[in-house]
Structure formats: C-alpha cells, structure tokens
C-alpha cells in the first residue's frame, strides 16, 4: 500500500468523518490522531519530525492508504513533496466554528495526556509547525487561516481538493476516480466522542 490521499486540514474540520470516508473509498486504513493513541511509540517520531528530522514516510505509514488530521496534517508540505502522486485534501470549516470546537476538545484535552512522549510531540509540533497560542482565540484563528492559505497557494489546483463535511462523497470520489457510494456519508467524532477517545487513551497511558 502507499499513501493516495494527504489530508492537509487541521483537526476539528471533519477529519474523523473524512478518515472513515477515505477508508471506504480506498479500501485501506487511514492514519489519524486516533492511530497515534493506538501506537504511542509514534509520538517520538512525530516529535523528531517537528524538530526537522523527518521520517521515511513510506515506512511510518506502511499499511495506510491515506493520512488526515494532526499530526500528519502539520507536515502536509513535506509529505506532498515526498509523495507527488497523492491527492491533497484540505478540509476546511468556518474559522469561528473551528475555534469553538477545537478549544473545547483538542486544546482542552492536551494536558490530560500525561505521557511525556505525547507531550513532547505536541510541544514540538505546536512550536515549529502551527505557531498557535492555544490559550488565545485570535492567535489560533489567525494561524488556522494562514495554514489554509498556504496549502491553497502551494498545491496545484489539479491536485488539491478543498473540502468541507457538507460536501460529502462527491469531491472525494471525483478526485480518486471512484463511484459514489450509495450509503450516507459518515458523520462522527462529536465533541463527546472526541473526549471519550482522549479519556480512553489517557487511561491506557497512566492518567
């Protein structure tokens, strides 16, 4: 297997629904932050990537057909350069709604994970890749917009899919050249589901 889709959108832009959709369309697993919860040894790899020591993407993501959400989305540029045949999907959302969701889920839960490798990964990525002050709404929204603008400017239009959850299957299917499934598009990872994922992972790692 090789990565066919690189997700450049940041967390809380429908990335878990996107994960499930891509798994349905490609028939291959999709790498997402929930995979890091399952493979905590990957934290040190991502932390080193944040410090400029990039992994071999094919080795790290062996067995996956796509990658979305943090932490991989922070490395959309490096991955798109290394995997030139992959489609890049930028999942987007209204910035104000994104902040409301991210602040109540991702940013509120970071400190609940006690594992030092996890914390090292988060600090490395936030300091080097996002330039977000997660306690400051204005900082985060500005960084969110800047991230999206940089992806749009860097990726050729013929390779880029700008997607939001309400778009459903069609843009993804068109980009991948596959038929539209008959079933409804997956809608998942509500705030409650996200926090449940974090609680489970924190329990496993010793919270």
Q: What is the dihedral of CA 8, 14, 19, 20, to 10 degrees?
A: -160
What span, in angstroms and rounded, lies between the C-alpha atoms of 158 and 121? 33
Q: What pTM does this model have?
A: 0.90
Specify the pLDDT at position 134: 82
Specify the pLDDT at position 41: 94
Q: Give the domain extent around 37.
A: 5-204
CATH number at residue 200: 3.40.50.300
Specify the pLDDT at position 205: 54
Domain count, the chain: 1
Specify the pLDDT at position 207: 44
What span, in angstroms and rounded, lies between the C-alpha atoms of 49 and 57? 11
Residue from 4, 20, 18, 204 nearest 113 by CA:
204
CA 197 to chain centre: 15
Count CB-CB contacts under 10 A for residue 49: 23
Count CB-CB contacts under 10 A for residue 25: 23
Tens digit of pLDDT per residue, the chain (207 long)?
A: 589 999 999 999 999 999 999 999 999 999 999 899 889 999 999 999 999 999 999 999 999 999 999 999 999 999 999 999 999 999 999 999 999 999 988 888 777 777 888 889 988 988 888 878 888 999 999 999 999 999 999 999 999 999 999 999 999 999 999 999 999 999 875 555 655 555 565 555 554
Q: What does DSSP assign to residue 185?
A: P
């Amino acid at each position: 297997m090789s990565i066919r889709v690189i997700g450049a959108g940041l967390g809380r832009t429908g990335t878990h629904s996107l994960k499930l959709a891509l798994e349905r369309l490609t028939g291959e697993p999709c790498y997402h932050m929930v995979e890091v919860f399952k493979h905590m040894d990957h934290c040190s790899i991502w932390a080193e990537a944040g410090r400029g020591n990039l992994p071999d993407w094919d080795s790290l993501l062996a067995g996956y057909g796509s990658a979305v959400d943090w932490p991989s989305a922070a490395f959309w540029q490096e991955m798109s350069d290394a995997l030139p045949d992959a489609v890049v999907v930028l999942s987007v959302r209204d910035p104000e709604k994104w902040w409301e969701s991210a602040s109540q889920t991702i940013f509120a839960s970071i400190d609940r994970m006690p594992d030092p490798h996890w914390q090292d990964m988060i600090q490395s990525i936030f300091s080097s890749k996002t330039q977000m002050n997660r306690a400051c709404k204005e900082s985060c929204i500005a960084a969110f917009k800047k991230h999206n603008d940089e992806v749009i400017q860097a990726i050729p239009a013929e390779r880029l899919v700008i997607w939001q959850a309400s778009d459903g299957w069609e843009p993804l299917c068109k980009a991948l050249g596959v038929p539209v499934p008959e079933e409804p598009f997956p809608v998942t990872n509500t705030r409650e589901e996200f926090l449940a994922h974090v609680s489970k992972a924190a329990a496993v790692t010793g919270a």
